[in-house]
Amino acid sequence: SSRKKENVRGVVQSIKICYDKRRKITGTKPGGGFGQVRKRGKMYTVELKKMVEKMQLENCTPELDIDHILISQRDVNRPALQLAGFFDYFDAERVQVIGNVEHAYMEKMEKDHGLSIMKKLMSFKVPCIVFCRGIVVPEEMRKLAVEAGVPLFRSTASTSSFMAELIRWLKV
């Protein structure tokens, strides 16, 4: 029994060492969220305006200047858990993608609660939020986004197709 405990402690210690080394190499943050991606020792970034052009997105917040916004994370996030109020380990550096599921969930919420959750999501200063399938962005949400300085975009593509193409493009 004491031998098993020692073995478990040894394995846990090994995992911690590997985790610490990985954090130093990839720039991940303690606590789960990932930091900026490094590419050959340099910071990997993509200009948001290039993503908008490449993905042919409609800008729902044209009053916001997107010229200086950089995307530093190669993955995207569908914020279903965040819409339910769970923000532990939330990676705010990812592009946020709203599809039919997230939209339907928000439609079932009381209006004030839905706006409150979106306000919290935007308070993390995500690089942008993209609504897929041509989902119409409610005016109240658009106003929140302008106040928070978070650009909103719309795509006519299906959510899965949009995400696959965006991730492929970000990783090239």
CA–CA distance, 109 with 94 (Å, rounded to integer): 24
Residue 8 has pLDDT above 80, yes or no: no
In tens, the pLDDT along 132-150 reads 999 999 999 999 999 999 9
Q: Specify the amino acid at residue 124.
A: F
Average pLDDT in the 82-90 region?
96
In tens, the pLDDT along 11-65 reads 555 555 544 444 444 344 443 333 344 444 456 799 999 999 999 999 999 999 9
Point out which residues pair with 76 in neighbouring strands.
Answer: 95
CA–CA distance, 38 with 146 (Å, rounded to integer): 30
Residue 169 has pLDDT above 70, yes or no: yes
For helices 48-55 and 159-171, give the axis angle rounded to 10 degrees: 130
